[in-house]
Amino acid sequence: MTTTTLRTATAARVVDAVKVYGVGDTEVRALDGVSVDFPAGRFTAIMGPSGSGKSTLMHCAAGLDTLTSGSALIGDTDLSTLDDRRLTLLRRERVGFVFQAFNLLPTLTVAENITLPLDLAGTAPDRARLDTLIDTVGLRDRLHHRPAQLSGGQQQRVAVARAFAGTPDVVFADEPTGNLDSRSGEEVLRLLGDTVRRTGRTVVMVTHDPVAAAHADEVVFLADGRLVDRMPSPTAERVLDRMKAFDGRGGGRS
Ligand SMILES: Nc1ncnc2c1ncn2[C@@H]1O[C@H](COP(=O)(O)OP(=O)(O)OP(=O)(O)O)[C@@H](O)[C@H]1O
């Protein structure tokens, strides 16, 4: 008889992550020994008070910034072992990004923006998969428009399609609804959640908003550069209650 061990794969993780900015009097320990894994096929939100280290964690986990000590891994690849060129390639081929400010190229059409990561990598797009992606984000009738001709919500949907176009191991989203009204924000969050659940992709999202965090499968909470809690199957009410516990309690470590 054989025994099968089921182990959830990890899309990205940091281990004993420390990030120190500045020196001497101006030193800030933005991450103070964080170990956290982001399971493959799941939507994880990172929350915590302002200045708790959310963006720093995301930037270091995604290879946009380097840790002072500890390790950051995408799949089994330790980012600290890569030189600049290989790190750039890894970000291009294995990581997708969605930023608050959309970051689309204004001179390219919607279609060209979506396939940009593939074009940069010199990879021919899988037409059928791209078609499904375009339908999922609801942009078929806008493919030849420029970003300036789209609403904020539509622009962010283009950014989401672009982030997933290259079949990345993980998509990092930094406050993806920060510039959107609540209805457009809701659409973008549903899109992220649906894409994870339908296609087994992985999303890690930094947000301030308990309603946004409730779209995730799990919320991880940071305070003062440390991981202080994890909440599976979050609701907006429970996330809000957890956030309130941070107020006036010196970071609310539990
Ligand atoms: N480039 C930098 N130089 C110096 N200090 C920095 C730098 N970037 C961030 N910090 C500091 O590191 C700490 C964590 O910042 P970070 O932006 O990661 O927090 P955050 O939780 O994302 O905050 P917010 O919710 O306000 O965006 C803060 O004290 C911040 O001032």
Q: Tell me the pLDDT tens digit for each residue of 230-239.
A: 999 999 999 9
84-137 pLDDT, tens digit each: 999 999 998 899 999 999 899 999 999 999 999 888 888 888 888 889 889 888
Please state the atom number of ligand 1 nearest to the C-alpha of residue 222: 21
ipTM of this complex > 0.90?
A: yes
pTM of the predicted model over 0.90:
yes
pLDDT at 179 over 60: yes
Please state the atom number of ligand 1 nearest to the C-alpha of residue 31: 14
What lines the ligand 1 site, CB under 6 Å?
A: 21-22, 28, 30, 48, 50-56, 208
Query: Mutation test of ligand 1: which of 18, 27, 28 has the most ligand atoms closer than 8 Å to its C-beta?
Result: 28
Note the pLDDT of residue 2.
Answer: 46
Please state the atom number of ligand 1 nearest to the C-alpha of residue 53: 18
Ligand 1 centroid to Cα of residue 229, in Å, is 20
Domain 42-52+80-244 belongs to what architecture? 3-Layer(aba) Sandwich (3.40)
Q: Are 229 and 56 in contact (CB under 8 A)?
A: no
